[in-house]
């Protein structure tokens, strides 16, 4: 028994994996292994709620949540059919789809990406224009680094206006705190939280607020799995969105659910992450939680193709489908 399943058993979320059929006889729940994008935390809270509150069980599903090692890795696992349904950044998923990977985005949770440029207040950087001539630490090889030219262009700057310093992910926070760079390319759900936890006073410039809102973290699945298990996918999405609705209504409860499923998780960090990501669910012109509007996909395709992250002229609908979502009347509306 792997540790993820042990966690679920400890949480009381997995019992006999049996549900009662319509005739009153015991019927085996359908097993679903859901691959996360990263280690368990606030950005995964809704799925933990759906598990511990029995939403998956009520839908006839026996769900196992598996921690991940980054969106790119998760996307590759589904592309290679080593995982069937998963959660990752839509940019990483769409890039592989454009190269022929047989998979589709079926529900979008983050309606805008969490990318941002963060600077210490004491640096004197109070606007994006103040980045001119400054040293900006950027994570080597990341999709957000590739998107930085879009952010600069949208705000009247060029790459040559700033001094980009490539560095490992783990170096971004300490390098900024030590004053070796003036700002870093980070994210609202990770680096900002780490910096503020160490007492940093920040000015943050979010991509979504400064001209670069793009479809972000989403549920997606292998095409074969979608074709063979349409009802399972529909039930999984509906239960997951119910879990996220509960999590958004009661973040404290969501963190407790995470702790039940993943005992080693930091409740303090998860609480901060939940607060940071909550606005992303109804950003980018979203009308419903879990459903990215067609216009946002069109804009995403247009913007990302400008910097070579997606090919020019591709139909955005080749990346996603709404066929597995509940009807709009059953989705949580954005207010």
Distance between CA atoms of residues 173 and 176, nearest Å? 5
61, 125: one domain: no
74, 193: one domain: no
Residue 30 lies in a domain: yes
The length of the chain in residues reads 335
94, 162: one domain: no
149, 233: one domain: no
**Lookup: tokens for 159:** 């790459």
Distance between CA atoms of residues 22 and 274, nearest Å? 38
pLDDT surpasses 60 at 140: yes
Residue 335 lies in a domain: no
315 burial (CB, 10 Å; 0-12 / 13-18 / 19+) is: exposed
SS3 content of the chain, % helix, strand, coil (to 5): 45, 20, 35
In the predicted model, what is the mean pLDDT of the chain? 91
199, 50: one domain: no
68-89 residue pLDDT tens: 988 889 999 999 999 999 999 9
Residue 262 lies in a domain: yes
pLDDT surpasses 60 at 146: yes
Q: Where is the domain boundary, 141, 174, 209?
A: 209
The CATH number of the domain holding residue 289 is 3.40.190.10
The domain tally of the chain equals 2
Please state the pTM of the whole predicted model. 0.86
Distance between CA atoms of residues 17 and 34, nearest Å? 16
58, 102: one domain: yes
321, 219: one domain: yes
Domain span holding position 35? 3-112+214-330
155-198 residue pLDDT tens: 999 999 999 999 998 899 999 999 999 999 999 988 999 999 99
pLDDT attached to residue 13 = 43
Consecutive H or E run containing 206? strand 202-206
317-329 residue pLDDT tens: 999 999 999 999 9
pLDDT surpasses 70 at 2: no
133, 231: one domain: no
pLDDT attached to residue 307 = 84
Distance between CA atoms of residues 77 and 57, nearest Å? 26
pLDDT attached to residue 228 = 97
73, 194: one domain: no
231, 100: one domain: yes
218, 326: one domain: yes
Q: Where is the domain boundary, 155, 183, 209?
A: 209
220-278 residue pLDDT tens: 999 999 999 999 999 999 999 999 999 999 999 999 999 999 999 999 999 999 999 99
Q: Where is the domain boundary, 209, 225, 243?
A: 209
72, 86: one domain: yes
Residue 75 lies in a domain: yes
Residue 28 lies in a domain: yes
Q: 298: Cβ–Cβ under 8 A, 6 or more apart, which residues? A: 316
Cβ–Cβ < 8 Å for 37, 93:
no
């Amino acid at each position: 028994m792997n540790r993820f399943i042990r966690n679920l058993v400890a949480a009381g979320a997995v019992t006999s994996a049996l549900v009662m059929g319509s005739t009153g006889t015991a019927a085996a729940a359908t097993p679903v292994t859901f691959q996360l994008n990263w280690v368990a935390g606030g950005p995964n809270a809704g799925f933990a709620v759906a598990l511990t509150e029995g939403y998956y069980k009520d839908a006839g599903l026996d769900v196992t949540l598996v921690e991940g090692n980054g969106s790119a890795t998760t996307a590759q696992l589904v592309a290679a059919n080593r995982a069937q349904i998963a959660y990752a950044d839509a940019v990483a998923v769409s890039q592989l789809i454009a190269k022929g990977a047989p998979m589709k985005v079926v529900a979008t949770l983050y309606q805008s990406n969490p990318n941002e440029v963060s600077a210490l207040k004491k640096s004197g950087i109070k606007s994006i224009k103040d980045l001119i001539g400054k040293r900006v630490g950027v994570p080597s090889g990341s999709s957000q680094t590739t998107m930085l030219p879009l952010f600069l262009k949208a705000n009247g700057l060029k790459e040559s206006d700033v001094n980009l310093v490539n560095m490992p992910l783990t170096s971004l926070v300490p390098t900024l705190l030590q004053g070796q760079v003036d700002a870093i390319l980070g994210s609202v759900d990770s680096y900002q939280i780490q910096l503020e936890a160490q007492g940093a006073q920040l000015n943050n410039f979010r991509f979504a607020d400064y001209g670069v809102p793009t479809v972000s973290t989403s549920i997606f699945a292998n095409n074969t799995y979608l074709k063979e298990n349409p009802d399972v996918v529909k039930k999984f999405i509906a239960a997951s969105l119910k879990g996220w609705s509960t999590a958004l209504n009661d973040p404290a409860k969501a963190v407790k659910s995470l702790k039940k499923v993943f005992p080693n998780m930091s409740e303090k960090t998860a609480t901060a992450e939940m607060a940071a990501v909550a606005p992303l669910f109804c950003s980018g012109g979203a009308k419903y939680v879990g459903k990215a509007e067609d216009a946002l996909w069109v804009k995403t395709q247009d913007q990302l193709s400008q910097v070579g992250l997606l090919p020019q002229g591709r139909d955005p609908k080749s990346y996603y489908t709404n066929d597995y979502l509940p009807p709009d009347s059953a989705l949580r509306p954005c207010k």
